[in-house]
Structure 1
Amino acid sequence: MKRIKRSTLAIALLALVVIAAAAVWLTRKPANEPGTPAAAAKGKAGAPAARPTLTVTVAKAEPTELTLTLAANGNVAAWQEASVGSESSGLKLAEVRVNVGDEVKKGQLLAVFSPETVRADIAQSRASLAEARATAADAAGNAARARTLQATGALSQQQINQYQTAEQTAKARVEAAEAVLAAQEVRGRNTQVLAPDDGVISSRTATVGSVVAAGTELFRLIRQGRLEWRAEVTSAELSRIAVGTTAFVVSASGAQVRGKVRSIAPTVDPQTRAALVYVDLPNVQQNTGIKAGMFARGDFELGRSSAPTVPQSSIVPRDGFNNVFMLLPDNRVAQLKVQTGRRVGERVEITNALPEGAQIVVQGAGFLNDGDLVRVVAAAGPAGAGAQPAAAPAAGGQGTGETRARP
């Protein structure tokens, strides 16, 4: 009797478990049953529909008028330098009136030597001249009287010749004394050091109180304040440059100056196969960023041409290459390697061919990967004007990057 009750109880419990399982199964609607949201979210292949990775803007490559340039490197130097020295020897430098960087005019007083010694020499030379003139006057009188007595025979011919020789010797001494006086006066003028031309003082070795020898350099002058850029251009490119060509020179500090080609060297260096092209630069005082002795790079303007360009923000540097993302018809993007060229403003030249009518991702390009699905919106401003992405990047996306197109 007890066994029958236990069997009945076990059967009843098992029936309850089966009924509960069936109820749970019946209340749970299959996810893949037609009409359910899960089934609607599946594609034809049965996979869930992908969500857009990012909201982007697109633009097409546009033809832009660009300048044809030729890049070169070289040194900045003075157009001409004048060495200003002393012509007097053994004089003490009493005064220095200019310093390095001063702009001077032709004939301006730069330094003064002590004139006392020269003045004494000039006074002595004048006294010697006066003595020589007196002696010459006496000799001339004796010779004149001797000539009047020549016909009378009171003096022999030898005596007359002696008086005439004395007269000529006295005249010569007068001329010598005049020359000595002139030389001393030149020394007196040389006690003042004058600028030989307009320009800028580039170096100074003059020191007050020093005694210098004749010919010692006291100052160095950049004539007329003119500088030049001596660009090295290969022999293959030399024929593309002509006198008068405009050049933009950029120093190491970033200062940019516009100049013009003054001349081209008539020879080519046999070692480097390069020739020097001399470019005149504006006044040295007006360009604090360009100085003589600097190394500078620059570009020669050779003309203008039209080329396809894209916004700078659409260029994404990855793995050592420049890339752009092209929008496909299914709103996915394809990564393309491109070669960049010249740059104007915020646009960069693309030198290799792009597919006809290709739409390039501009805003948000740096966050994309090849094959990403995107949502395209209209640009709020000029394409590539630096707008920020409208949504955060998907997990695993790469950061943005920029590259400067070298001219």
Structure 2
Amino acid sequence: MRFGLRKGRIVLTLLLAAVAFFSWQYCSPEKEVAPAVMQVGREDIEYLVTAIGSLEPRDYVDVGAQVSGQLTALHVDVGDEVEKGQLLAEIDADVQEARVSASRAQLKALEANLRERQAEQELARLKWQRQQRLAKDNATSDEALQSARAEMLIVNAQTEALVAQIEQHKSSLQADEATLGYSRIYAPMSGTVVSLEARRGQTLNANQQAPQLLRIADLSVMTVWTEVSEADVSRLQLGMPVYFSPLGNTTQRWHGTLRQILPTPEKVNNVILYTALFDVDNSSGELMTKMTAQVFFVLAEASNVLAIPMSALSTNEGGVTTVYVRDDEGNVEERVVQRGIDNRVKVEIKQGLAEGESILLQPSTAKARSAKNTNSMAKVR
């Protein structure tokens, strides 16, 4: 019995020693962890300014009413495609038609008066000529001669006044006819009806302000209205490339160039935002008004270049950038590289690395490992 108990204690002691050894071997803070390694490859890198925007038609027009009255007909609805010159709506024109009819009748009366005046003018002219012939033969008095002349001048003046009155009335008639024409509203441009502000039967009052009936927009080209923070707007330049993806389709991109930066900012929640505009083609009709856009202004870009993570770089006191390269045998070499553009995650490497080489992603670990190896060699010596 004693021998069996003693044998059990020995086995337990050996087990506890094994556990302690493995705990020290794998859990000791002195245990070195192999640094992460990656192969150098080629990628596209973009240095971007990001922002949020919304889509609006580049070209649109608000169609209003220029005369007052009841809207008797509305020939379009939201979403309809219209052509320039197409009839859109009609306003009750009874009052305007009566006014035009009255103006035309009055114009006819004035023209009749003019013909009467012209006949009197001809008669006065003949009387004046006859008195002139009689005066040459001393067959008339001076009074009769002067009277004939005065009568002719008076009739001429009355005729001229009547002609001027007729011209004025014609202008008024043209204005009345134009106003009558405003009761029929036509499309000023081709496009899509994107909104309706009035309904059939509604009474419109155009005396103070033209009431808006609808909006027509050309949806083939959209403008992205982008809000850019004051910290980023100074980095933007007109003509620079820019693209966006709508929230509903982040895998597809629409490209354009920066067209305009509005000079007056907006203050939203104590943040100053400037509006940047660029246009994109929408001939496919996929983009719609008021869509939210994730916008990316391209400050710099490089295609198919050697790229590594920013975390793999190390910069010494002299400002020299290095990376740690590992060969096939596991040897690690610190190497100077020349960097290009970066997007805060990946960086372009112009010189110092070749495609397919292996680099350490934790340069600080490599430095510590190198320092430890140096210290160990010093102790051995």
Aligned to 2:222: 227
Aligned to 1:301: 298
> Does the CA-based 8 Å contact 1:106-1:195 persist in structure 2?
yes
Q: Structure 2 length as normaliser, TM-score?
A: 0.61
Q: Which of 63, 73, 87 is equivalent to 1:84? A: 63
Aligned partners of 2:178, 2:361: CA distance in 1, in Å?
A: 82
1:6-21 equivalent positions in 2, closer than 5 A: none
Q: Which protein is richer in helix relative to its size?
A: 2
* 1:249 corresponds to 2:250: no
> Does the CA-based 8 Å contact 2:45-2:347 persist in structure 1?
no
1:309-320 equivalent positions in 2, closer than 5 A: 309=309
Q: Which of 145, 153, 165 is equivalent to 1:173? A: 165
Aligned to 2:155: 163
* 1:357 corresponds to 2:352: no
CA deviations over 1:293-315 (Å, ceiling 9, x no partner): x55431112332443159xxxxx
Aligned to 1:183: 175
Aligned partners of 1:65, 1:251: CA distance in 2, in Å?
A: 22
1:116-131 equivalent positions in 2, closer than 5 A: 116-131=94-109
| 278-287 or 160-169, larger mean C-alpha shift | 278-287
Aligned partners of 1:298, 1:357: CA distance in 2, in Å?
A: 34
Cα 1:157/1:61, change in 2 over 3 Å: same
Aligned to 1:132: 110
Aligned to 1:265: 261
- Residue type of the partner of 2:189? D
> Does the CA-based 8 Å contact 2:219-2:285 persist in structure 1?
no
> Does the CA-based 8 Å contact 1:198-1:224 persist in structure 2?
no
- Residue type of the partner of 1:85? G
Aligned partners of 1:81, 1:263: CA distance in 2, in Å?
A: 18
> Does the CA-based 8 Å contact 2:309-2:361 persist in structure 1?
no
- Residue type of the partner of 2:301? R
Aligned partners of 1:210, 1:285: CA distance in 2, in Å?
A: 36
Cα 1:224/1:173, change in 2 over 3 Å: farther
Contiguous gaps of at least 5 residues in structure 2? 27-35, 132-143, 311-328, 331-341, 349-357, 363-381
Q: CA deviation at 1:78?
A: 4.0
Aligned to 1:384: none
Q: Structure 1 length as normaliser, TM-score?
A: 0.58
Aligned to 1:211: 203
Aligned partners of 1:25, 1:274: CA distance in 2, in Å?
A: 83
- Aligned identity (percent) is 20
Q: CA deviation at 1:94?
A: 1.5
Aligned partners of 2:187, 2:284: CA distance in 1, in Å?
A: 18
Q: CA RMSD in A?
A: 4.2
SS at match of 1:357: strand
Aligned partners of 1:276, 1:129: CA distance in 2, in Å?
A: 56
Aligned partners of 1:25, 1:164: CA distance in 2, in Å?
A: 152
